[in-house]
Chains A and B, each alone.
Chain A
Amino acid sequence: MNGPNWWIVAAIVVFLALAGLYLSMTAGRLDRLHRRIEMAFGTLDVLLARRCAVTLELAGSGVLDPAASTVLIDSAHGVLAAVDQEADTGRRWLAESDLTRTLGSVFDDAQEIDALREEPGAAQLLAALAATCQRVSLSRRFLNDGVRACRQVRRQRLVRWLRLAGRTPWPQTVEMDDTPPEGLSGIAA
């Protein structure tokens, strides 16, 4: 009589211990994924700010024709205005995509860029822009990879029922056009 009861108790204890271990491991996984996303977002944010700043610098440097400078400054200001409105993130990605397209149309011709690089100071700014655009696109890709991995874990039933993700908001991918300008592809690595 005593024997079987003890077996059941032991089985329950082992089960609870394993379940606890599994849950704590999953919580740890989620925590790491959230941190990774946070970090990736921070990096993308820095790179986008840099892209905007280099664009303004180029537009103000006098090496571009006035029309190109004007549209670049306009798009970059659009980004700055959208970043100020933190609540509306959708607007920011629209503004960033807009800047991407403006950069793409201004710097679309590799031969023109080669001529532009002869101007004093322009070569380094163009290289900085090319490098930044390339990194923005890589960075966003890595961020979205992380978001997808995280969502996969957060969709698990146990994770939802037991709220293992805590109060961390549902991770969002960043959807924007980040195609690096055609004409700069020769400069970027």
Chain B
Amino acid sequence: MGKRLPMTDFPDLGARRLRIGIVCPYAWDVPGGVQAHIHDLAETLMGFGHHVSVLTPVDDPSTLPEYAVDGGRPRAIPYNGSVARLTLGVKATGRVHRWIREGDFDVVHVHEPVAPSLSVLTCWVAQGPIVATWHSSMERSRVLSAGYYLAQTALEKVSARIAVSENARRTLVDHLGGDAVLIPNGVRVDRYADAVPATRDPGPRIVFLGRIDEPRKGLDVLLDAWPMIVDHHPDATLVVIGPGDVDEALKDVEPRLLENIVMLGRLDEERKAAELTAADLYVAPNTGGESFGIVLLEAMAARTAVLASDLTAFERVLDGGRAGALFATGDARDLARQACMLLGDPDLRLALVEEGNRRVATFDWSHIARRIEAVYDSVVMPGEPVRVDLRGQLVGRLARRSGDARFDGNDSGPGNVEHS
């Protein structure tokens, strides 16, 4: 029996070209984890050969990449006790309508579908295979708010749910019911592995990354440990990357210690990678609120040893301490002890780096995006694209009347100037 050529009958599922629409809830030109996630996911998927369109709010439409569509400018609205920057209203609905109709998507993937946002709006407007990703864990009060209840009806249309962390998944299971597939955040390993290290002094170099005035990021803990570290390594440098009030953050530090501390403020991705690569040790002294720990992975990709507080999320990323050292959360003494040990033992650091490098490979975007692609494949129905859902949708009807009339005529899509 001659062998048949099977590939014509069974093209690899991964080789199927999909039309994918991704919705970002937050302004594209404001740095943030969700935006970075969507950016990397979109580009990786396009690298696989899929067609990708990202709908996102944006302040300055000229900053949008070619594959992104302007979802309108976010407006500051008092919501749930704080001011949220949201994209709402008839006009935004009109844009979503148009995007869905013209996109002819096999699947629409919304991110952080917490009301009110462009993501939830899309769930309202669209009908068909919808995938949703939850990024952060939320407090119960927020989940139970009125906006969330309204969103719930829209979320019932979501065919497949993804959570990026165990904490995010727990939020879903506890408050929304049902389950979610756990697919962690991705890292562009090559971006860090190929980074040119920043110039540095010969002494040991520790790097911290995160908002310096956000207590949960734990800079205080690290600064408390700093004198003990300097006692053992007088030539050590502490590099602090992240926005916030420098004077306020350093007000309790002894003046003699200040000369070894470099405050760099917020850095772009490239310089961040350069600093992570140049360092001997990355310290993550977070005291809570962290659901995933993407920076830990970035440090691992940059081949820098990691020392992190023993939060559950960090323990998971560090494979229980094999891919990076852990210290007791909030304990400056333990931090200092472990940091000194690591700084004094290059072999120990190298062992952690090697293990970390192996570990981070499973988080590379090329791998993570394949898992997300598998989720798309398991909800996509060939010949059944995502459509606009008009039945019983008051918002939808309104938007069709006012939004369409305006958009079909003179809206030029991305680059269109907001006139409100």
**A residues adjacent to B (C-beta < 8 A):** 24-25, 27-29, 31-33, 35-36, 39-40, 42-43, 46-47, 50, 53-54, 57, 60-62, 120-121, 124-125, 127-128, 131-132, 134-136, 138-139, 141-142, 145-146, 148-149, 152, 188-189
**B residues adjacent to A (C-beta < 8 A):** 1, 3-7, 9-10, 12-14, 127-129, 153, 156-157, 159-161, 177-179, 181, 367, 370-371, 373-375, 377-382, 384, 389, 391-393
Residues A189 and B371 in contact in the complex (CB < 8 Å), given A125-B10, A142-B160, A145-B179 = yes
- B177:A149 contact, CB within 8 angstroms: yes
* Bound complex: CA A31 to CA B153 (Å): 12
Within 8 Å CB of B6, what residues of A? 57, 61, 121, 124-125
Within 8 Å CB of A33, what residues of B? 156
* Bound complex: CA A124 to CA B8 (Å): 11
Q: Which of A27, A40, A136, A141 contacts B179 (CB 8 A)?
A: A141
* Bound complex: CA A138 to CA B182 (Å): 11
Within 8 Å CB of B181, what residues of A? 138, 141
- B7:A46 contact, CB within 8 angstroms: no
**Majority SS of interface residues in chain B?**
loop
Within 8 Å CB of A50, what residues of B? 10
Within 8 Å CB of A24, what residues of B? 392
Within 8 Å CB of A146, what residues of B? 159
Q: Enumerate 14 A-B pairs (CB-CB under 8 Å) in ascending A order.
A: A32-B127, A36-B157, A39-B381, A50-B10, A61-B4, A62-B1, A62-B3, A120-B3, A124-B10, A131-B13, A131-B374, A135-B374, A141-B179, A148-B178
* Bound complex: CA A65 to CA B7 (Å): 21
Residues A138 and B159 in contact in the complex (CB < 8 Å), given A57-B9, A148-B178 = no
- B178:A149 contact, CB within 8 angstroms: yes
* Bound complex: CA A124 to CA B11 (Å): 9
- B156:A35 contact, CB within 8 angstroms: no
Residue of B nearest to A28 (CB): B392
B327 to chain A, nearest CB (A): 34
**Majority SS of interface residues in chain A?**
helix
* Bound complex: CA A54 to CA B1 (Å): 18
- A127:B379 contact, CB within 8 angstroms: no
Q: Which of B10, B371, B393 contacts A57 (CB 8 A)?
A: B10
Residue among B6, B375, B389 with most chain A CB within 10 A: B6
Within 8 Å CB of A138, what residues of B? 160, 181, 374-375, 378
B213 to chain A, nearest CB (A): 40
- B156:A149 contact, CB within 8 angstroms: yes
Within 8 Å CB of B381, what residues of A? 39, 42-43, 46
* Bound complex: CA A46 to CA B384 (Å): 13
* Bound complex: CA A136 to CA B375 (Å): 10
Q: Which of B10, B12, B384 contacts A53 (CB 8 A)?
A: B10
Within 8 Å CB of B3, what residues of A? 61-62, 120-121
B47 to chain A, nearest CB (A): 14
A103 to chain B, nearest CB (A): 15
B153 to chain A, nearest CB (A): 6
- B9:A32 contact, CB within 8 angstroms: no
A152 to chain B, nearest CB (A): 7
- Known contacts A128-B12, A149-B178, A189-B373; 8 additional CB pairs below 8 A are A28-B393, A32-B157, A36-B159, A40-B379, A46-B381, A54-B10, A124-B12, A131-B12
